[in-house]
A and B are shown apart, each in its own frame.
Chain A
Amino acid sequence: MDCEDVRTYLLDDHRGQLAPELAREVRAHVERCAACAHDDAAEHALSELLERRLPQHPAPLALKRRLAAQWPAPGAARAPWWPRWRRAVAPALAAALVLAVAAPWLTGRLPASGRGDGAQALVAEAVNDHLRVLLSEHPLEVESGGIHQVKPWFAGRLDFAPVVPFGGDVEFPLKGGAVGWFVDRKAAVLVYQRRLHPISLFVFRADGLPWPARGGERIGGVDAYRQTARGFTVVLWRTGDLGYALVSDLDPKELATFASKLVG
């Protein structure tokens, strides 16, 4: 075994990948050859340098999100995001929602106007629904080519016609939509964006929900209820038969600006 052979095997020897007999032969050569002993030490040093100091360049989060959105997870290729999520956590969520929302009616103790109990349930529901949108790998069932593309997509998928006066602009572009749920009813989910902040708008039938009567503010032409929960700002309002829940981690003032565009 000459020096060239030995140097070819040095890396394998460091990693314990040589057969015992070959490893003994390599080490014997290294012990009696100064040049190969130097190479042996230098290869060790180089390995340490590469493993410990070579800068690593992991994929940026934005790229990961793009890829995740484009390549569905197993079993998720065709199913909408919301039914999939519901199957996973439906029992716990259903129990919580029943207790939080339905119990007052069942017990005949509907929250008094302005007490805020019902409003808390709606706020919690809105935040949870927004989180599902954020965590879903495929939150949008229809990508936005503008409100005139998104709105017709809901036809036949909901038992009401969502009224959305604002179709997005440069500051708050509309990203797309999906069908979801709000409490016990189907909802149109529209996702907008402000810089890097996603904004979810849920539109649903307003009847039978414990809308807060006090603690509101005027946004545009409607009485709205705004509250912060778990770092998210929620704006609730109703117009005619439809209810609206707007949720984002956006600055509350900016979200109010956005809400004013929505209410028209």
Chain B
Amino acid sequence: MGGGAGTGAGAALGREALAYVDSLHNLARYLTGNASDADDLVQETYARALKAAERFTPGTNLKAWLFRILRNTFLSAYRRERNNPVSGGLDTVDPAAQGVADDHWLRDDMELDRLRKIVAGEIEAALMTLSDEARTVILLDLEGLTEVEVAQVVGCAVGTVKSRLARARLALRRQLKDYAR
């Protein structure tokens, strides 16, 4: 940890920040893909947050601030080290290239039946095939962050969050067909 551990700002932020550790770890786990790296990512996130505590504006969303630090830490320290065969993400593929079969699947009532039969491991595996960005917006949305907060975390315009989330969820539905059949 940095030298900010004993600062008033760091101490004042401490207990509240630690209340979000489970949410942060969950996102870290889905970004890094393994428990050990998730632990390291969360620890580094808190270390950076502590150093930057005096730059946090009281009254703003601490949870979103921590998520932003975690995401930036991931991008700078973890993502570049990975050799991800689906780097860029399946959801970044042009939807038209997904083919007629996918479109048919997404209009078929079979999709609804099978979505309801998906088990925990399958939804997790399908989520992990998406890009880091798609996973992030889906998980931040699940955490209850508003579009404004998600935009702050991922560093995009507020207006693009809705469309990014819609694309990410559509990509997830496409992936789920492989697990549902």
Contacts and interface: CB of A to CB of B under 8 A. Distances in A.
Given A49-B123, A60-B39, 10 more contacts: A45-B115, A49-B176, A54-B123, A55-B121, A60-B25, A70-B1, A70-B47, A71-B18, A71-B50, A78-B6
Interface string A63-81: 1101110111111111000
A74 B169 contact: no
A7 B166 contact: yes
A50 B138 contact: yes
Interface of A: 7-8, 11-12, 34-35, 38-39, 41-43, 45-46, 49-51, 53-60, 63-64, 66-68, 70-78
Interface string B151-179: 00000000000110110010011001000
Interface residues of B, number: 53
A54 B176 CA distance: 13
A84 B120 CA distance: 45
Interface centre among B11, B17, B46 (most CB of A within 10 A): B11
Interface of B: 1, 5-8, 10-15, 17-18, 21-22, 24-26, 29-30, 35, 38-39, 42-43, 46-47, 50, 106-109, 111-112, 115-116, 118-121, 123-124, 127, 138, 142, 162-163, 165-166, 169, 172-173, 176
Interface centre among B14, B26, B108, B121 (most CB of A within 10 A): B14
Contacts of B15: 73-74
30 contacts: A11-B166, A35-B107, A38-B107, A38-B111, A39-B106, A42-B111, A43-B169, A45-B115, A46-B169, A46-B172, A49-B118, A54-B124, A57-B25, A57-B35, A58-B22, A58-B26, A59-B21, A60-B25, A63-B39, A67-B21, A67-B46, A70-B47, A71-B50, A72-B5, A72-B6, A72-B10, A72-B14, A74-B14, A77-B5, A78-B6
A109 to B, nearest CB: 46
- Secondary structure of the A side of the interface? helix
Given A41-B112, A72-B14, A76-B11, A11 B165 contact: yes
- Secondary structure of the B side of the interface? helix
B42 A54 contact: no
Given A57-B25, A63-B25, A49 B169 contact: no
B3 to A, nearest CB: 12
